[in-house]
Every structure is written in structure tokens, then in C-alpha cells.
Structure 1
Amino acid sequence: MITPRFSCSQTEKSVTVSVYCPSVRASDVEINVDDTLFTLHITPYYLRLNFPHALQEDDEASAQYDPGSGFLDVILTKALPGQHFEDLDLLAKLLAPRLAEQPSQGPLIEVLGTQNAVEPAEDDLVTRTEGLSLEQQEILEAAANDWQLRQDVSEPLDTFKITPQERYGFLDMYTGYFQHIEHTPNEINELGAEVETCPPTERRKRRQQHEEERWDEEHYMADFADDEYIQELVRWTHPHAVPVADFQYTEAENMKMLQLPRKEYLATPYQTHQLYLTLLTLLFAYAYESRTTQLDPTPESGWTISSLVPAFSALDPPPYSPTSHLSPETFDLSEMAATFTVSYRRSLTFPLFRSWVLAERCRADVAAFLRAGRRSVVRCLLEIKDILDHHEVYYVYSKIWVDDFCVWVQSARYAQLADSVASLKMEKSYIDWNLEELERLTQEDLERSTDSDDESEDEVERMLPAPL
């Protein structure tokens, strides 16, 4: 079956689903509405949407097909008139299966008995307990008498690995994408040929070593001394950082969202916390690339983004410091600083423009993207995806990271994260490269050069003949 291209809109009383299904017979269409679930089938198309609120089939519901345009418009009545259906433009969210449809993993706790259970006859109980171990008999007696047995959480078992490959990517769901890395011109890979077998601790070690090796003091000092163009980049206003009252995705963006995976991510609170921090590194890389190109990507844009995201180049996502979060959406300043420190270091090491002021402006962009809302964040990620998908090598990072992020962020919440990013105060001492000393030396050299030029001009004036 083919998932058709579609869009959704709403009025006070109804929701309209506009489906593009050219060259079909309208008489063959099958439409079903079950509370929040809407399904449409017309060969060869099949569409199933999960709306946030209930719908109903009544006399006001209708469907109209236009053979000329190929669009089928289905008007569905809201169960509660006036209720607002949020996120109708987030197509991947509508396509995601309901949580109850996920395959059952089985109960984690087996109920052995309850107070209201019917007790078997004494003879039957004796028969049932024959052959039971002593421990099982104790459990049975405890259940019968409602004793409160001590329950201990068992220690997690050591991971049993049948393959030397390590997992990576979004929620560590992927492996095998770099099996032939030695035969591909992947310039941003910092793990070498061992990328598939390199454990997380070694990945971080190699990333840090690579950053130290590529750090260039002279390049940083040169950009600090001659920063006229960088200042122009800093003054540029990023259009995605400004909230839009009537936000609408473009047709190309809607098509990209229809191609996203249909998944429901069952992340633990700790994993969710990690994803928020990783999102910051993606948005920082996007802010740098889009600001330096002013939303006009170049052939180097894929390299720039991939180099700035440590989860791409070294498969090393945050956290980069011990976390002590109270909830998945609560962030302390130390882990926020550690996350942005890595992004700052990479922006001062790899790309063309290496400026602390530019890095600070990119962090401000990240806070603005988050405050603009999930639609702005989704748009930024879709642009990252478009850049990577058009690269013959770096498309792999779209597959193992960006595709899933584009789906996950449509249900994420950003208010606290945006406030934490905006209130963060980054210090140059966090970088460990003596930036303040390098800037001081550069400034002194500039002042000496200026004084020398002034003295040369004075000398020339003294050598000129006096005016008549």
C-alpha cells in the first residue's frame, strides 16, 4: 500500500483531510472513523491518522473527489464542537501509531494473588502445592495471608554480546552502517576503521584527542584580528529565530515529513534527557552553518554540520558531564555548559570562521529556535536532513540520527530547555585553550602595528619640504 500525500485543516465544527490520490475510482473509497482513529483505503492508497481528539460520523460528514486535481476532501465532524485539534500540520505525529498498538512486551510483575481471590478448597490446595519448592510454598502462604514480602530490585545483568559491533545513533538503535567505512571518503569520521567496534568511552577519548590535534592558535588569532566579515555574520538576523504567527510548512517540507519513519519512541527518562542535550548540539551546528551561509547551503554545508556534531563525527552524544536531573526536562547549568563547551570547541577548531563571538551568537540562535516552538525546531531539522540527504557520504547521519529526531521533536517540549540555554553564561576558560591570553596578545600586536604606522606617517611628513 502507498501512503498518499495529504494535509489537514479545521473549522470550529469539523476537520478536513485533503488526500492526493489521482486516477482512482471514488466509488471504491473506504473511510472509517473510530473515536480518534481515521482510516482511508482506496487502492493502491492507504492512510491511517491518529487525531488528538475524538471525531464522529454523522450527516454533516462528507467526502468529495475532484478527478481534475486528484484530491479527495474528507470532512469529519468533531465530537466536541469548538475543540481545537493541535498539531494538524505535524504529519509524522498524525501518522504515528497509537501507544496501545505497540507490541506487548509482557507483564514485568506477575500477580500471584489478591485479597478478593477465591481460595480453593483445602484438599485442592494440598494437591496444588505438592511438588512445589520450599520457596514457592512460602510465596503461596504469603499471598494467602496477605503478608508483605520484601522485594529487592535485582542488579542488572552484564550485557551479553554475540557480536563485536557496538550500537550507536538515536537511542542506540543502529549498527552496521559503517561496515565499509575504509572504502568511503568520509572525511569527518574520527574513529577510523574501528568505528563499528569502538566502545563509547573510546569514542569520547578519540574525539577529544582529535580536537586537540586540530586546534590552531594562529587561525583563531587571525580571525580575532580581522573579524569585519564575522561581525557581519553576527549581525544577520536568522529568520527561523523569529516566531511566525501564521506558520505553514512548505509543500517540500510536507513531502519530507511523509517520508519520515512511523515510530513511537519509548525512551526512558534518562534517554529522553540525553536526547534533549543532543538536540542542542544539532541546532548549534545548524545555526552555525545557516548563519555563515545565510540560508544558502554550499557543497561544504554537509561537512560543516557533520563536523560540528560530535554525535556524527565520533558517535559521541551528550551528556559530557555527570547528570543529576530531577526530570527529563530539567537541566542544571553544569551539564548545559559541558554540552555547549564541546560545540564551541568544535566551532573554534574545524570550520572556516573560528570566533568566540560567532559561537555565542549561534547559542543565542538555539535559544531562539526553541522559544519559537516545535514547528521552528522541526523546520531546522528538516533543513539539516535535506542537506545531508543530498550528500553521497554524509546521508548516513540523516538515517541514524536526523530522521528519528524529526519525528521525536514533534512531541517534545522546549520551554525549560529554551530558558536554560538563554540563561547560560559561557566562559572562555571552559574551552581550555587560553583564549583570553591569545586575544590579549593579538590585541597588543594590533596596537603596536597601529603605533608603528603612525610613526611612519610622522616620519614621512618630517621629510617632506616645508610649504612655501
Structure 2
Amino acid sequence: MLTPRFKLSQDENHVFITIHAPYTNIGDTEIDVDGENFLFVSSPYFLRLRLPGKIVENDKSKGSYVCDSGDFNLTFDKDSPGEHFENLEMITSLLAPRDIPDINPSLVELLEEDGITIEDREVDDDSKKYAFGFANKITTEFVNIGSEFPQIFELRVPEQVALDERHVLRIQHEDDKFSSDHYLADLYDDELLAPYLTAVPFWEASDFNKNAEFTDDEVAILKELPNKHYLLNKTEYRQVLFGLVDILYGYCYDKRTTLNESTVESSWTINKLSSTFSWFCVFKDIKHVLIACFRRALIYPIFRNFELCKKVRNDVVSLLKKGKKFLIKCVLEIHQMFNSSSDARYILNQLYIKDYLVFLQKCRNEEFDELYNNIINIDVTKKDLDLELEELEAAAELVQKEETDVLENEMAVRMASMTLLPGVRRSNGPYLEESDDESNTSSSDSSSNSSDESSDLDSDDDPS
């Protein structure tokens, strides 16, 4: 059976359900409402929803089918008039749970009110020492994944490298890749970087609508995701949120450096700038995340500039402020980029993105408010990056000063050797010395072309 595309909306007293089910047999269609539960069956389509509030099927209920579009348009009364149903646009969260196992078997697939349970108790689990994927729930699947996808993962054997060791290896690898020449070239090329430093992300445009409806393509992805309940301890929960910041940083860098027009290279950029994707890393705090993002943005992409890094950090903040619906749309765009990548980045959707799409639908907006407030209060300095940027810049400025001094000296020498006016001879020094009577002859005598006087002129002083 196929899950049809669907959309829900509401007013004060009604819930409106639109189901896209073309080429179905209307005579065989079955619709059932039981409180929060809604069932639609019309071969080959099957849809079972759990709504955030109760609806009733009564004489006022309405239904129609539009043949041209293949849409069922249904209207039901709310059991409690005036009640506001939260998260009606969160497609995956409305789907009743499926029995189909996913790649993260330890995630409990239950449907509850919020979908996320955070345990107070921290449990030391040796089996997770070498884990990876969303919330580090993958421990046995995808053996040798790093070796199979070397174009995606810089860490080749995550199943053999403990979580706390990955950052050490990552930093060593990044240090080897850092190019001081490239960094300094971008530092002093104001004309090259100007368009990207002054760019405005599309979500800051005056006509941007953060509550825009999900497109048909976006709904098609969301409706196929399994509706899960996430059982996480506090550490895992924070790591998931920090990983989201790490991923969004690469997304924001791409949007700024392509002037909001993502290219075929965008999936590479997001993949490469994310330590989560490239190294299966997890983070202990927000500053840890930002330092890793800044470092990678100064090492791998084509534009490597510290001020640009700070601009992208601000873009992440402004993106988080737009709320979870827009966040989901951004992650959906990343999902589509990875699926269309020629380098098999669909594997990142399996490991991380699909779970993030489900997880985000279950989060409260307050979580994102706290997240961007934490980012705002973090100041990342050049010294924090451990790339010796300040020393490089000081050395470059010294070299520039020396080159400037040399040029100024050369110019002074040239100016000193030039004759300002034709027929006027420079003296050999700032003062005139009296020599003999011939040096004080009249102007008529000094204008003579005697061979003795001509022999005193240097070739550079010859006005002819």
C-alpha cells in the first residue's frame, strides 16, 4: 500500500484534511474517524494518522473528490470548539507508527505526545564507544563504511576509533591540510571576498515567509519517514542539537558563498565542512562546535576568510530564529542535495538526515531559542583555532612593510637621480662648496660648453 501525500489545516472549529490519491476507486474508499485517530483506505493508498486533538464525524462533516487533481478534501468538526491543534504541519509526526525496522534499531518506534524522552540517568555503555550515526545509535551496522565511501568520510574506520579520539585525529589531519598561502591570499583580496561578506541569506529577505507550506516534493519525503519515539539521555540529546549546528553551518556557508544559488558542489561543501559527516564526531559544547566549523571553513573550501566564518556563524543564528518549520525545510534541501549527489552522499541521509527530519518535528521551538542564544554569547577568536593565524598575519604584515620600505627607497633613489627641469644641473649634495675661481664665473661663462665642466657630470644627470 502507498502512503498518499496529505496536508492538514484548521480554523477555530474545524480540521481540514487534503489527501492526494489520484487514479483511485472512489467506490472502494473507506474513511474512519475515532477521536485522535483518522483512517483513510482507498486502493492502492493507505493513510493512518494520530492527530494532536480529537475530531468528530457527524452530519456537518464534508467530503469531496476533485478528479482533475486527484484530491480528497475532507472537513471535520473539532471535539472541543476553539481548541488549537499543535504541529498540524509536521507530516511525519502525524503518521501512525510502522513496524518497518530502520537502520537505528535501538530507537523505540512508538507514538507519544512529543516523541522524545530524555533520561536523567547517564549510562556508560562500552558498546557505544565506537558508535556513529544519529545520536550514536549505530554500533554494528555499516562495517568498513569509511573505506567504502572514501570521498565522503575522512575517518576510514569509525568502528575502530573511539569517540573521544576522533577529534584528536581530525585536528591533526586538518593541520596537515591547512594552507597558509591560501589563507593569506584570501585575507588580502578584498575585491574577491566583498560580494560574499556583504551577501544576505535568502531567509533575511523582506518578502521571506518562514511559515510557507511544504512543497509536494517535501511532503513526499516526510510522509515516507518512520514515526519514531527517541529515547535519549541528556548527553545524547545535547550532542544531537550540537550536531545540528555543525550541519547548518555548512549549509549557511554554501548559501552565502553561492549567493543563495546552490550548485552541484554544494553537497560537497556541506559534507566537508561538517565534522559530524566527515569524522563521525560529537561535540561537548557550542564553542567546541564553532571552533571545528571555523577551522574547516579555513582549510577546505575555495574561500577561506575569518570574517567570512563570523558572517556564516551569524547566518546560523538568524536561521535558527526562523523556527522549526523552516529548519525542517533547510534539512529537507540538504536531503535532496545528498540524494542527487554523484558521490553517493545518500548514505549521509541514512546515517543522519532522515533521523534529524523526524527529530526536528518533535522538538519544541524553545529548544532552538536556547540554541541560538548560546551561539550569540560565544566569541570565537583566531587564537582559539590553533592555526597560528595571528602569527601568520603578523609575519605577512612585516613582509609587506619591508617590501613597502624597499619600494619607497627605490623610488627615492630614482627621484634623486632625475632632473626636474631641462638645463638645470643637480648638485652633488645639499650644500655648495667653493672650489676655485672658475666655479664663481659669470652666468655667461657657466653656460659655455667647455670640456672641463662637462667631465664633472654623471651620465644620469645629463639632461640631453
**TM-score calculated relative to the size of structure 1:** 0.77
- Aligned residue for 2:457? none
Structure 2, gaps ≥5 residues long: 99-106, 113-119, 424-464
Distance apart, 1:402 and its partner CA: 1.0
1:340 to 1:49, Cα distance in 2 relative to 1, 3 A: same
Partners in 2 of 1:211 and 1:286 — Cα distance?
A: 20
- Aligned residue for 2:451? none
1:189 to 139, 153, 167: 153
CA contact (8 A) 1:53 1:85 kept: yes
Distance apart, 1:463 and its partner CA: 4.2
Secondary structure at the aligned position of 2:159 is classed as coil
Letter in 2 for 1:318: F
Secondary structure at the aligned position of 1:410 is classed as helix
CA contact (8 A) 1:280 1:366 kept: yes
Superposition pairs for residues 233-244 of structure 1, below 5 Å? 233-241=196-204, 244=209
Secondary structure at the aligned position of 1:425 is classed as coil
Partners in 2 of 1:231 and 1:464 — Cα distance?
A: 43
Partners in 2 of 1:342 and 1:180 — Cα distance?
A: 23
Secondary structure at the aligned position of 1:266 is classed as strand
Superposition pairs for residues 222-261 of structure 1, below 5 Å? 222-241=185-204, 244=209, 246-261=211-226
2:173 to 210, 226, 239: 210
Letter in 1 for 2:155: L
Letter in 2 for 1:377: L
Give the stretch that moved more between structures: 410-419 or 279-288. Answer: 410-419
Q: Is the aligned partner of 1:390 residue 2:355?
A: no
Partners in 1 of 2:409 and 2:81 — Cα distance?
A: 81
- Aligned residue for 1:171? 135
Query: Any idea what the Cα deviations from partners look like across 1:410-437, whole Å, max 9, x if unmatched?
Result: 2223111111112222222111122222
Partners in 2 of 1:295 and 1:362 — Cα distance?
A: 13
Partners in 1 of 2:312 and 2:2 — Cα distance?
A: 40
Distance apart, 1:359 and its partner CA: 0.8
- Aligned residue for 2:110? 102
CA contact (8 A) 1:220 1:355 kept: yes
Partners in 2 of 1:301 and 1:63 — Cα distance?
A: 44
1:19 to 1:399, Cα distance in 2 relative to 1, 3 A: same
Secondary structure at the aligned position of 2:231 is classed as coil
1:414 to 353, 365, 368: 368
Distance apart, 1:18 and its partner CA: 0.8
CA contact (8 A) 2:269 2:301 kept: yes
- Aligned residue for 2:86? 86
1:248 to 1:69, Cα distance in 2 relative to 1, 3 A: closer
- Aligned residue for 2:250? 285
Q: Is the aligned partner of 1:31 residue 2:39?
A: no
CA contact (8 A) 2:39 2:47 kept: yes
Q: Is the aligned partner of 1:437 residue 2:391?
A: yes
Superposition pairs for residues 256-405 of structure 1, below 5 Å? 256-319=221-284, 335-391=285-341, 392-405=343-356
Partners in 1 of 2:35 and 2:276 — Cα distance?
A: 41
- Percent identical pairs in the alignment equals 30
Superposition pairs for residues 107-186 of structure 1, below 5 Å? 159=126, 166-174=130-138, 175-177=140-142, 179=144, 181-184=146-149, 186=150
Partners in 1 of 2:172 and 2:371 — Cα distance?
A: 30
Letter in 1 for 2:193: I
Partners in 1 of 2:121 and 2:314 — Cα distance?
A: 45
Secondary structure at the aligned position of 1:54 is classed as strand
CA contact (8 A) 1:65 1:73 kept: yes
- Aligned residue for 1:110? none
1:202 to 1:228, Cα distance in 2 relative to 1, 3 A: same
Letter in 2 for 1:275: V
Partners in 1 of 2:83 and 2:214 — Cα distance?
A: 23
Query: Any idea what the Cα deviations from partners look like across 1:294-340, whole Å, max 9, x if unmatched?
Result: 23222322221111111111111212xxxxxxxxxxxxxxx221221
Query: Any idea what the Cα deviations from partners look like across 1:3-30, whole Å, max 9, x if unmatched?
Result: 0011122222211111111122222222
Distance apart, 1:384 and its partner CA: 1.3
CA contact (8 A) 1:241 1:365 kept: no
1:16 to 1:156, Cα distance in 2 relative to 1, 3 A: closer
Partners in 1 of 2:66 and 2:154 — Cα distance?
A: 54
CA contact (8 A) 2:134 2:351 kept: yes
Secondary structure at the aligned position of 1:34 is classed as strand
Query: Any idea what the Cα deviations from partners look like across 1:115-158, whole Å, max 9, x if unmatched?
Result: xxxxxxxxxxxxxxxxxxxxxxxxxxxxxxxxxxxxxx999686
- Aligned residue for 2:62? 62
Structure 1, gaps ≥5 residues long: 105-152, 320-334
How well do the aligned residues superpose, as a CA RMSD in angstroms? Answer: 3.1
CA contact (8 A) 1:220 1:354 kept: yes
1:202 to 1:426, Cα distance in 2 relative to 1, 3 A: closer
Letter in 1 for 2:243: T
Distance apart, 1:71 and its partner CA: 0.8
Secondary structure at the aligned position of 1:346 is classed as helix
Determine which structure has more spread, i.e. the larger CA radius of gyration: 2
Secondary structure at the aligned position of 2:239 is classed as helix
Partners in 2 of 1:268 and 1:207 — Cα distance?
A: 26
Letter in 2 for 1:410: Q
1:386 to 1:457, Cα distance in 2 relative to 1, 3 A: farther
Secondary structure at the aligned position of 1:8 is classed as strand
Secondary structure at the aligned position of 2:232 is classed as coil
Distance apart, 1:166 and its partner CA: 4.1
Distance apart, 1:49 and its partner CA: 1.8
Letter in 2 for 1:45: Y
1:317 to 1:450, Cα distance in 2 relative to 1, 3 A: same
CA contact (8 A) 1:29 1:42 kept: yes
CA contact (8 A) 1:234 1:358 kept: yes
1:393 to 1:154, Cα distance in 2 relative to 1, 3 A: closer
CA contact (8 A) 2:121 2:233 kept: no
Letter in 2 for 1:402: I
Distance apart, 1:224 and its partner CA: 0.6
Secondary structure at the aligned position of 1:53 is classed as strand
1:367 to 1:73, Cα distance in 2 relative to 1, 3 A: same
- Aligned residue for 2:103? none
